[in-house]
Amino acid sequence: MSRLLLYPFYLLFCFFSLLSGIQTDDLQILMKLKSTFLQTSNTSAFSSWESSNSMCNFTGITCNSDNFVTEIELSNHSLTGVLPLDSICHLQSLEKLSFGFNSLNCPIMGELKNCVSLQYLDLGNNFFMGCSVPDISSLSRLQYLYLNGSKFSGTFPYKSLQNMIGLAHLSLGDNPFNPLPFPKEVLKLTNLTCLYLCSCSIQGTIPAEIGNLKELIYLGLSDNIMTGKIPIEIGNLVNLRELELYNNSFTGKLPVGLRNLTKLEVFDASLNYLEGDLSELRFLNNVVSLYLFENNFSGQVPSEFGKFKKLVSLSIYSNSFTGALPQELGSLAKFDFIDASENFFIGPIPPNMCKQGTMRGLLMLQNNLTGEIPASYANCSTLLRFRVRNNSLSGSVPAGIWGLPNVNIIDIALNRIHGPITSDIKNAKFLVQLFAENNRLSGELPAEISEATSLISIYLNDNQLSGSIQQLPTSLLSFLISNNRLTGEIPHSICNASFLQLLDISNNSLSGKIPKCLGNFCDNLLVMNLQMNNFHGTIPDTFANCYQLRTLVFNGNQLEGLLPKSLVNCKNLEVLDLGNNKINDRFPYWLEALPNLHVLVLKSNRFYGPIGNHNTSGIFFPKLRILDLSHNEFSGLLPRYYFENLNAMMINEDSKHEPQYLGEIFYYQDSVVLTVKGLEIKLQRILTIFTTIDFSSNKFEGEIPKELGRLIILRLLNLSHNSLTNHIPSSLENLSQLESLDLSSNRLTGQIPIQLTSLTFLAKLNLSRNKLTGPIPQGKQFGTFENDSYYDNLGLCGLPLQINCSTNDLLPPPLLLIFEEDNDSIFASGFSWRVVLMGYGCGFLVGLAMGCVVFKRGSPQWLLRFVEGDRNGKMRRHNNPRSRKRRN
């Protein structure tokens, strides 16, 4: 009928074509198409397109009974180059044109104007970068339009949809169109069953008229810039099977109408600002996948979810859900995957989720779940990810869980789980990451762990493990078992773990010598932390290949002898902490050329002799910020030229930007124990803005060089317990960040320089046990110091001492009032001690009270997702809504 109507035009067209010599024969057109594409494409699509063959038998060609071409279906045939629409649209009977999933590009030759019979047009999934959509306004018979994923730009011509009242599929998503509100024209297309408008810059609200599109089976609006509430009229779309609203800015509660959508199988409203409870979803009996993560939903998960027989995946992490998870959850379902992390769930882990033998992922990190890990999970042979980090789980791990045959990640860290790691771990042939730190695990590390040959990470720090370390898997990259009760020696077998990057066995009772072979795997090593054990003997001189090494900590052992010279090869060394040993050597000036050394701690050893009595290389510890030489037997003058040249302590990189921390690798954090204001504290993360010099308790003599005043970002200066003489240099007034100054127990003379009152961050001052005289400066910070800052001097006078100064001693009137307020602002300002300590996390008293705030705000992402199996855990939002990867 329709073709008949067009017939006169056809004749007319043929006539003109003949006149102009254009070949309109369908075969000729196809042969031209072939030759066009063969010039640009490496394709086998046209191998059957030979004149020996009937045109209607060509691959991808369909004809009608009159032998006119009606369909060209050449999708996914590696076609590249330009699409010659001009000749294609001379095919008079063409109803279907399909070039999806090729690599066609701009420009598009010719127009669609003549393709008036088209019912099906697929130009999706090509590379039309920089092209606008061709004019489609004449395609009034179109039923299927796919332009998705082709990188079209410009403004989509929604007006041209007006005539396409028969349109069933409209797919415009994944194109960088100019932003527009939800197109009115679409709301009239009442025959639509499939509407894909994801990621094509739709802004504003979903109009209520969406309820007109009653035939919709699929509605995709993800990855747009939409706002407002989900309209109640969505409840009219009773045929919907899939509703995707992911990654917009929708607000408010789920609308009442949702309960109507009983055919819904996939509902994704993740990454919005939705709130309220899920009671509207109680009736979605056919739901297969429910993604609601990263909203602010609250209330309990409806118990009806436990009866959704088809439920396969449930991802509700990062909301504010409370109560217990429905205990029936998954017991009837073909459950594959649940991520309920980062909520406020309490109560036990539902026991039956593995019953059907389909469960692969159980993620419930960071809730407040209690009770034991259900014994039934020990049979969960399908389980790949078992992650319950950071809850309040107790009991022991049921036998069998350690050895789950397919599991990749076991993460039970930060709970109260006790009992042993059992030898069945040898069955966990696919176990890659084992996180069980911060629990109460006891017993020995079973030697069978070496048979878990896929293991690359073992985190067992902060438990109560005892016995000795035996065999380890040779595949290991990270082995952290600090803060346990291990005894015995480091096994030589550890040296077979030649990929090891992170070794932290600190805070145990390990003994013996440090095995020489540790140098064998130095090529990969980033961190070696052996501190707080009982190792003795010398440090082996095997660091020649440790180019990657960033952190080396031997603090708190019985090590003796010389510092190994091969350390000079560790060009990436950032932290070298050898404190609290018995090392007997001169100052290692040969380390001064290490370009990245931030932290050098040699305190409490038997170092001796002068510092800097050598020909220098002209490079003076260019990054050094923490230098602790205290409690040794260094002698001679203070090293003036270091004070002139320690550049990293001079540059005030205005810390507007985020504080940076040294040495964050996965869950490991560098830490250094320093004496801060008289307290030994463990700095868990070493802020790169932290700067300190501690030369206390040595035999330094002579004066304090005025050049010390150049280290203007120093926060801590301790020169106490030496034999320093002469005056306190007034240049110390330049240390404007200084928070603690201890010059006590020396032989300093003269007056306290009044300039020191300008040190407004100074919270602790100790000048006691010297030979100082004259009036104590008054005002500003000095108003806050007590007697003990000054006692045992020759002749100090004035407040806070009870000794009045004679009139000769009187200084200008004190500036008392001005800094009353600053007392508070010290601690409120970004440079105060408390803030610094907060950065170090929860190891210290102040940190405990306040530090966790920063910890919580700054790091859930780091804490939770950093060590995902694929290490892409940092990516929370995923780009392609159609192929969303699950969080592992």
x/- string (CB under 6 A) for ligand NAG, residues 57-86?
A: x------------------x----------
- Residue 274: CB minimum distance to ligand NAG, A: 10
One-letter amino acid identity for 419?
G
d(C-alpha 124, C-alpha 457), whole Å:
43
* Contact status: 264 vs ligand NAG (CB under 6 A): no
- Number of residues binding to ligand NAG, judged by CB under 6 A: 42
Task: Tell me which residue of 534, 450, 536, 447 sits closest to 487, measured CA to CA.
Answer: 534
Closer to ligand NAG by CB, 256 or 853: give it.
256
CA dihedral 600, 618, 729, 681 (to 10 degrees): -10
Closer to ligand NAG by CB, 43 or 635: give it.
43
Q: Which of 41, 105, 175, 260: binder of ligand NAG (CB under 6 A)?
A: 260
Closer to ligand NAG by CB, 223 or 448: give it.
223
* Full 3-state SS string of 36-77: HHHHHCCCCCCCCCCCCCCHHHCCCEEECCCCCEEEEECCCC
* Contact status: 547 vs ligand NAG (CB under 6 A): no
Closer to ligand NAG by CB, 57 or 103: give it.
57
* Contact status: 100 vs ligand NAG (CB under 6 A): yes
CB 566 within 8 A of CB 543: yes
Among 53-61, 86-94, 378-386, 688-696, which window interacts with ligand NAG (CB under 6 A)? 53-61
* Contact status: 874 vs ligand NAG (CB under 6 A): no
One-letter amino acid identity for 398?
P
Neighbouring-strand partners of residue 513: 536
- Residue 234: CB minimum distance to ligand NAG, A: 7
Among 32-40, 619-627, 829-837, 878-886, which window interacts with ligand NAG (CB under 6 A)? 878-886
Angle at 320 between CA 669 and CA 389, to 5 degrees: 35
- Residue 298: CB minimum distance to ligand NAG, A: 4
Tokens linked to 210: 């969406």
Residues in region 203-232 near ligand NAG by CB under 6 A:
223-225, 232
d(C-alpha 10, C-alpha 888), whole Å:
59
- Residue 843: CB minimum distance to ligand NAG, A: 19
Closer to ligand NAG by CB, 76 or 613: give it.
76
- Maximum Cα interatomic distance, the chain, rounded to a whole number of Å: 123
d(C-alpha 441, C-alpha 418), whole Å:
4
d(C-alpha 300, C-alpha 838), whole Å:
34
x/- string (CB under 6 A) for ligand NAG, residues 301-340?
A: -------------------x--------------------
- Residue 241: CB minimum distance to ligand NAG, A: 13
* Contact status: 348 vs ligand NAG (CB under 6 A): no
- Residue 442: CB minimum distance to ligand NAG, A: 23
List all residues 6 or more positions away from 870 whose beta carbon is below 8 Å from its beta carbon.
888
* Contact status: 368 vs ligand NAG (CB under 6 A): yes
Closer to ligand NAG by CB, 56 or 109: give it.
56
Q: Which of 81, 84, 157, 166: binder of ligand NAG (CB under 6 A)?
A: 166
50 exposure class (CB count in 10 Å sphere: 0-12, 13-18, 19+): exposed
Omega prior to 491 cis, within 30 of 0? no
List all residues 6 or more positions away from 855 whose beta carbon is below 8 Å from its beta carbon.
838, 841, 842
Among 142-150, 484-492, 534-542, 733-741, which window interacts with ligand NAG (CB under 6 A)? 142-150
* Contact status: 113 vs ligand NAG (CB under 6 A): no
* Contact status: 125 vs ligand NAG (CB under 6 A): yes
* Contact status: 284 vs ligand NAG (CB under 6 A): no
* Contact status: 180 vs ligand NAG (CB under 6 A): no
- Residue 104: CB minimum distance to ligand NAG, A: 11
List all residues 6 or more positions away from 618 whose beta carbon is below 8 Å from its beta carbon.
none
The alpha carbon of 444 is separated from its chain's Cα centroid by a whole number of angstroms, namely: 33
| Side-chain-side CA neighbours of residue 144 (13 Å) | 11
* Contact status: 256 vs ligand NAG (CB under 6 A): yes
Residue number, nearest CB to ligand NAG: 877
| Side-chain-side CA neighbours of residue 487 (13 Å) | 3
CB 462 within 8 A of CB 436: no
* Contact status: 103 vs ligand NAG (CB under 6 A): no
One-letter amino acid identity for 305?
F
d(C-alpha 43, C-alpha 56), whole Å:
20
- Exposure pattern of 194-209 as b/e (b: 16+ CB <10 Å)? bbbbbbbbbeeebbee
Task: Tell me which residue of 163, 24, 47 sits closest to 93, measured CA to CA.
Answer: 24
- Residue 44: CB minimum distance to ligand NAG, A: 8
Q: Where is 826: in which H helix or E strand? A: helix 822-828
* Contact status: 171 vs ligand NAG (CB under 6 A): yes
Among 10-18, 255-263, 458-466, 470-478, which window interacts with ligand NAG (CB under 6 A)? 255-263
* Contact status: 761 vs ligand NAG (CB under 6 A): no
Site of interaction with ligand NAG (CB under 6 A):
42, 54, 56-57, 76, 100-101, 122, 124-125, 146, 148-149, 165-166, 171, 191, 196, 199, 223-225, 232, 235-236, 238, 247, 256-257, 260, 275, 296, 298, 320, 346, 368, 370, 392, 877-879, 882
